[in-house]
């Protein structure tokens, strides 16, 4: 079997085009242009790249972007004061604090200080808590997990009753994606560093989501023939043959697994572009919420 390659770039492009249309429609109606504040603390190079990409994507969609770059030694109080100011600023509909924060800052307190209605990343403890409760709806769903579910839906995967295995239990991806799969009536197993018989558990999955940050950890014999494989990993591995000296690979050994899976996301060009697309969508939703308040 050769897997269908799930084209995240194309799917994210459609979402972004729809967001741009929604923004234009708001402006036509005389409603304010949506605004997103990005808060970057310190100089983590990967975070700098991600934040720049998010800002550029905003501009392309007609969303105003407000960038705040802060030194790594900023105090907890100063950071929370900035968030309070952004909460009170009517031009700003969404607030994104790029994670991870430098050591010494209390991430949970910072996320808790973001107004629920502006929590476009969906990491506020109340939004995450609602995701974990039956019959409750969070205002915003974290962007990468939301993008994973969107790709599965676009691929026509039946989640109800499916056996789903999530590799990784991070706050940003693994845990929220598992909660979203439960919400969709999948039977979900979360694997982590202490899981026994990891390959065997993964092999039981109809839907396998890999989000551990280990280059090409998932091998061909970890995957049930016909399974759908979503690779959230973005890992830099050295490659002297390339000018930049490295290449990006996922958590899945793509070349092996594509021969057994029925569908698979590539890296790059799979889940990655979806994160930004869902962030833009959440920002317009936040602007719609602000109109009603
Ligand atoms: N770090 C890695 N992914 C994300 C994300 O989606 N949002 C934020 N704020 N930080 C991240």
**Domain of 177: which CATH number?**
3.40.50.720
Catalytic residue of the set 22, 98, 231, 258: 98
Identify whether residues 204 and 112 lie together within a single domain: no
The residue whose CB lies within 8 Å of the most ligand 1 atoms, and thus the one to mutate among 42, 50, 70, 174, is 50
State the closest ligand 1 atom to the C-alpha of 99, by its place in the atom list counted from 1: 10
Within this chain, do residues 156 and 263 fall inside the same structural domain, yes or no? yes
Instruction: Determine contact, residues 137/130, Cβ cutoff 8 Å.
Output: yes
Residue nearest to atom 1 of ligand 1 (CA): 99
- Which residues constitute the domain of residue 61? 30-116
5 part of a folded domain: no
C-beta of 97 in contact with ligand 1 (< 6 A): yes
177 CB less than 6 Å from ligand 1? Answer: no
Q: CA-to-CA distance for 181 and 197, rounded, in angstroms?
A: 22
**98 Cβ closer than 6 Å to some ligand 1 atom:** yes
Catalytic status, residue 137: no
Catalytic one among 22, 55, 119, 121? 121
The domain total for the chain is: 2
Determine which helix (DSSP H) or strand (DSSP E) holds 140, and give its type and residue range: none
CATH number at residue 75: 3.40.50.10860
Q: Are residues 106 and 151 in the same domain?
A: no
243 falls within a domain: yes
Helical residues (DSSP H) of 184-228, grouped into ranges: 198-203
Q: Same domain for 112 and 148?
A: no
Residues of the chain with confidence (pLDDT) below 50: none
CB 178 within 8 A of CB 159: no
Task: Tell me, yes or no, whether 24 lies in a domain.
Answer: no
Cis before 291 (ω within 30): no
177: three-class secondary structure by DSSP: helix
What's phi and psi for 64, nearest 5 deg? -75, 135
Q: Is 98 a catalytic residue?
A: yes
Same domain, 112 and 182: no
- Assigned domain for 1 exists: no
Q: Let me know if 255 is a catalytic residue.
A: no
Q: Is the pTM of this model over 0.85?
A: yes
268 lies in the same domain as 161 = yes
Indicate if 259 and 152 belong to the same structural domain: yes
**Cβ of 282 less than 6 Å from ligand 1:** no
Same domain (yes/no): 150, 264: yes
In ligand 1, the atom with minimum distance to the C-alpha of 98 is 9
Q: What is the rounded CA–CA span in Å between residue 19 and residue 69?
A: 26
Which of 44, 79, 121 to probe ligand 1 with, by most ligand atoms within 8 A of CB? Answer: 121
Could you give the CA distance from residue 178 to residue 232 in angstroms, rounded to a whole number?
Answer: 13
Determine the residue of 99, 168, 274, 281 to mutate for testing ligand 1's pocket, defined as the one with the most ligand atoms within 8 A of the Cβ atom.
99
241 belongs to a structural domain = yes
């Amino acid at each position: 079997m050769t897997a269908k390659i799930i084209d995240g770039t194309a799917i994210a492009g459609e979402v972004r085009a729809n967001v741009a249309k929604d923004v234009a429609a708001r402006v036509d109606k005389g409603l304010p242009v949506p605004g997103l504040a990005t808060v970057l603390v310190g100089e983590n190079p990967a975070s700098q790249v991600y934040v720049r990409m998010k800002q550029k994507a905003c501009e392309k969609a007609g969303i105003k972007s407000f960038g705040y770059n802060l030194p790594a030694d900023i105090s907890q109080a100063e950071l929370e004061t900035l968030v309070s100011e952004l909460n009170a600023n009517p031009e700003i509909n969404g607030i994104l604090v790029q994670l991870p924060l430098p050591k010494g800052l209390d991430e949970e307190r910072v996320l808790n200080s973001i107004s629920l209605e502006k929590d476009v990343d969906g990491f506020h403890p109340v939004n995450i808590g609602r995701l974990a409760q039956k019959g409750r709806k969070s205002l915003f769903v974290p962007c990468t997990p939301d993008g994973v579910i969107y790709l599965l839906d676009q691929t026509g995967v039946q989640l109800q009753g499916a056996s789903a295995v999530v590799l990784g239990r991070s706050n940003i991806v693994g845990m929220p994606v598992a909660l979203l799969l439960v919400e969709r009536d999948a039977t979900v197993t979360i694997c982590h560093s202490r899981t026994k018989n990891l390959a065997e558990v993964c092999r039981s999955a109809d839907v396998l989501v890999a989000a551990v940050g280990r280059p090409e950890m998932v091998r061909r014999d970890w995957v049930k023939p016909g399974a759908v494989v979503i690779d959230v990993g973005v890992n830099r591995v050295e490659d002297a043959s390339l000018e930049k000296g490295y290449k990006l690979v996922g958590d899945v050994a793509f070349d092996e697994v594509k021969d057994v899976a029925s569908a698979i996301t590539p890296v790059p060009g799979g889940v990655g572009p979806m994160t930004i697309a869902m962030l833009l969508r959440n920002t317009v939703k936040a602007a719609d919420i602000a109109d009603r308040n």
